[in-house]
Amino acid sequence: MLEAIILCGGEGKRLRPLTENIPKALIKVKGKPLIDYQIEWLKRHNVSKIILACGYLSEKLRKYCGKKVLYSIEKEPLGTGGAIKKALELVEGREFLVVNVDDLTDVNIDEFRKIGSNAICLARHRSNFGVVHTHGDKVLGFQEKPILDNIWVNMGIYLLNRDLKLPDKGSIEREIFPNIELKAYKHNGFWHTINTMKDVEEFEGQHA
């Protein structure tokens, strides 16, 4: 049995005005809310229980998702570490998955689990800018936002053990991960994060 916590408590300020009246998890991309992408992906990999760690406009998320998931509701922002710790009250097993609601991917969870906890999914980093190739003072060519070799970034997907000492409030990425031994799962497939309006436009353009 595998359980998953979806982190969806943030206000999504960089996605305003879309998030002025709805939580980030309910933003529609290609006509479907982000939360649906994540639930469908988890269900395809037989995740038995899904817990939404939510805060901002959580009542709208509860109304939309109903009883198909469980809810851990923050009265104040707790950071990723605090949100996970609070949601653990609803987790029964020792090993559990944590995902960000805004990181869409096709990671094979069954393969990811084989490396054991505590583990983190990584993806190759794509440059935010076009790259210019030169020789001396001569421009040889342009490459639009290439994937950079040997540079890996955090996908926001973790396989954790409940023995991990989590803070009541704070960031798991900044306060916990630097101080423990982590395993890396390098994903070479699809990954698209939705943090800004530009991210939404790029996703919809790529999947037109």
Residue 6 near residue 51, CB atoms below 8 Å: yes
DSSP string, 39-102: HHHHHHTT--EEEEEE-TTHHHHHHHHGGGSEEEE-SS--HHHHHHHHHGGG--SSEEEEEETT
DSSP lists the bridge partners of residue 142 as 132
Residue 18 near residue 25, CB atoms below 8 Å: no
Among residues 28, 145, 186, 198, which one is catalytic?
A: 145
Spatial separation of the C-alpha atoms in residues 90 and 50, rounded to whole Å: 10
26: left (phi over 0), alpha (psi -120 to 50) or beta: alpha
| Active-site residue, 145 included | yes
Q: Which residue from 55, 50, 54 is spatially nearest to 91, judged by alpha carbons?
A: 50
The residues assigned a catalytic role are: 145
